[in-house]
């Protein structure tokens, strides 16, 4: 019985360790356009003729949001903000 429990505990530790090694880091980002619109995204995307700046997710907390810098709601799907409006892609 003791050997069975020890074997099960070792297998659990190995399984959890393997899961920890394969788990990726979060890819959340804050993206801003030239007009001061910023939003959360889960990937870095590029669009022709659109200049976007990408920042780490915690960058959001260190900013002052005012009339020139606006934080916009998250949108499902691919796209970007332009002049305060969501442009789907």
Query: Which one, of 14, 60, 15, lies nearest residue 39 by Cα?
Result: 60
pLDDT of 4-35, one tens digit each?
A: 757 755 666 575 655 444 444 557 889 999 99
d(CA 13, CA 52): 43
State pTM to two decimals: 0.64
| DSSP symbols for 26-57 | P--EEEEETTSEEEEESS---BTTB-EEEEEG
Mean pLDDT score across all residues of the chain: 80
Whether residue 23 contacts residue 17, with contact meaning beta carbons closer than 8 Å, is answered with no
| pLDDT score at 25 | 54
End-to-end CA gap in the chain: 60
Q: Which among 24, 86, 37, 31 is positioned nearest to 54, based on CA atoms?
A: 31
Residue with the bigger pLDDT between 79 and 12: it is: 79
Average pLDDT over residues 40-46: 81
């Amino acid at each position: 019985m003791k050997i069975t429990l020890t074997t099960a505990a070792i297998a659990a530790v190995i399984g959890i360790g393997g899961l920890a090694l394969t788990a990726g880091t979060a890819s959340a980002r804050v993206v801003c356009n030239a007009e001061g619109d910023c939003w959360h995204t889960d990937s870095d995307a590029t669009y022709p003729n659109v200049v976007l700046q990408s920042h780490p997710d915690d960058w959001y907390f260190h900013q002052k949001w005012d009339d020139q810098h606006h934080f916009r709601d998250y949108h499902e799907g691919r796209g970007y903000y332009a002049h305060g409006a969501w442009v789907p892609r």
